[in-house]
């Protein structure tokens, strides 16, 4: 098997705050094969967005390694970074703040091409038209400004901008969370179509488990900067092993009145990721917590290809 498109080893990203070090991403490992989608799930403050931005070098990693096609890109030179920007892109959550209100639709989509200085004017115009068609934006929106458009169309602009330079890898940071359900489905389908047509590799960051199941091949569940569970999508939903993943899954209100809608609620709220203690970070809210959980947790392959970071995992799940 060839090298995975993206490999992340022991990645850490800390932020200095007034009250200590904030461990936004703490020792995260994963790989994404070309053409696949990795879903990253977690609640606000779990470090999922920081993870995506660190891989794209929008933030500098504190420690660890990022590999792209087997090559270490953790500290790229300026030239390498420019090249990487062509290969890796991002789609943002908020279709309102992710577009410059003073640039028209075509200007926004054309900007990456202008910055790359590799195309003639006519080429850029043709390519922009083509991209607009690809993402389903009618040509009459060419000179329109973002504030005149609805969220779905704005998100399409963001997608076209990300596609402009023909990237291989796209970090999707909650791209549908701000949209209405019917529009959300349109955008999700568009993203799947694009993946098929262009063999794109996605890292799909979201808090919505039903969306992540629908779109991902593999899933990473994060809690306070750490990976608590990692497995292929179907496997994770079939055999949920980590207590946090279980809680997360059962907390979703299901739009089906015959399903068991007794929401299992977790006690307490997310604790602070500032200078965390060495033990399991979920301990304070975990119904199975015991003394052993004060030890640092190691991520283990409990079932084939199914990794869990919980010392009591086997016990809880009768494995």
**Which residue lies nearer to other proteins by CB, 64 or 243?**
243
Q: Could you tell me if 69 and 121 are in contact, meaning their C-beta atoms sit under 8 angstroms apart? A: no
**Which residue lies nearer to other proteins by CB, 161 or 168?**
161
Instruction: Please report how close the Cβ of residue 74 comes to other proteins at its closest, in angstroms.
Output: 18
Half-sphere exposure of 275 (CA within 13 A, CB side): 6
Instruction: Please report how close the Cβ of residue 223 comes to other proteins at its closest, in angstroms.
Output: 10
Calculate the alpha carbon distances from 104 to 13, 52, 89 in Å. Answer: 35, 27, 20
The distance of Cα 79 from the centroid of its chain, to the nearest Å, equals: 26
Instruction: Please report how close the Cβ of residue 114 comes to other proteins at its closest, in angstroms.
Output: 9
**Which residue lies nearer to other proteins by CB, 17 or 261?**
261
Instruction: Please report how close the Cβ of residue 105 comes to other proteins at its closest, in angstroms.
Output: 12
CA Rg, the chain, in Å?
A: 21
Instruction: Please report how close the Cβ of residue 2 comes to other proteins at its closest, in angstroms.
Output: 26
Which parts of 37-168 are beta strand (E)?
37-41, 63-68, 71-72, 88-91
C-alpha dihedral sign at 243, 212, 94, 172: positive
3-state DSSP call for residue 278?
coil
Instruction: Please report how close the Cβ of residue 144 comes to other proteins at its closest, in angstroms.
Output: 7
Q: Are strands 37-41 and 63-68 parallel, antiparallel or unpaired?
A: unpaired
Q: Could you tell me if 281 and 226 are in contact, meaning their C-beta atoms sit under 8 angstroms apart? A: yes
**Which residue lies nearer to other proteins by CB, 14 or 282?**
282
């Amino acid at each position: 098997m060839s090298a995975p498109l993206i490999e992340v080893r022991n990645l850490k990203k800390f932020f200095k705050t007034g009250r200590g070090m904030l461990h936004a991403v703490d020792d995260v490992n994963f790989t994404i094969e070309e053409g696949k989608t990795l879903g990253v799930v977690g609640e606000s403050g779990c470090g999922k967005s920081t993870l995506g931005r660190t891989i794209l070098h929008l933030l500098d990693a504190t420690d660890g390694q990022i590999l792209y096609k087997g090559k270490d890109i953790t500290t790229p030179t300026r030239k390498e970074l420019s090249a990487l920007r062509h290969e890796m892109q991002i789609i943002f959550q908020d279709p309102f703040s992710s577009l410059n209100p003073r640039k028209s639709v075509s200007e926004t989509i054309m900007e990456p091409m202008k910055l790359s200085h590799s195309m003639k004017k006519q080429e850029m115009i043709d390519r922009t038209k083509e991209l607009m068609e690809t993402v389903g934006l009618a040509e009459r929106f060419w000179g329109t400004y973002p504030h005149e458009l609805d969220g779905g169309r704005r998100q399409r602009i963001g997608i076209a901008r990300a596609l402009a330079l023909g990237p291989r890898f796209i970090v999707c940071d909650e791209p549908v969370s701000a949209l209405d359900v019917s529009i959300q489905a349109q955008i999700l389908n568009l993203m799947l179509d694009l993946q098929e047509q262009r063999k794109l590799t996605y890292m799909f960051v979201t808090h919505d488990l039903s969306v992540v199941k629908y779109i991902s091949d593999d899933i990473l569940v994060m809690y306070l900067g750490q990976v608590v569970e990692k497995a292929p999508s179907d496997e994770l939903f079939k055999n949920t092993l980590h207590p946090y993943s279980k809680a997360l899954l059962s907390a979703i209100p299901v739009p089906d009145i015959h399903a068991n809608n007794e929401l299992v609620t977790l006690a307490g709220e997310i604790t602070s990721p500032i200078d965390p203690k060495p033990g399991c970070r979920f301990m304070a809210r975990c119904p199975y917590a015991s003394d052993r959980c004060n030890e640092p947790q190691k991520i283990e392959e409990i079932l084939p290809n199914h990794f869990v970071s919980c010392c009591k995992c086997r016990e809880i799940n009768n494995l």
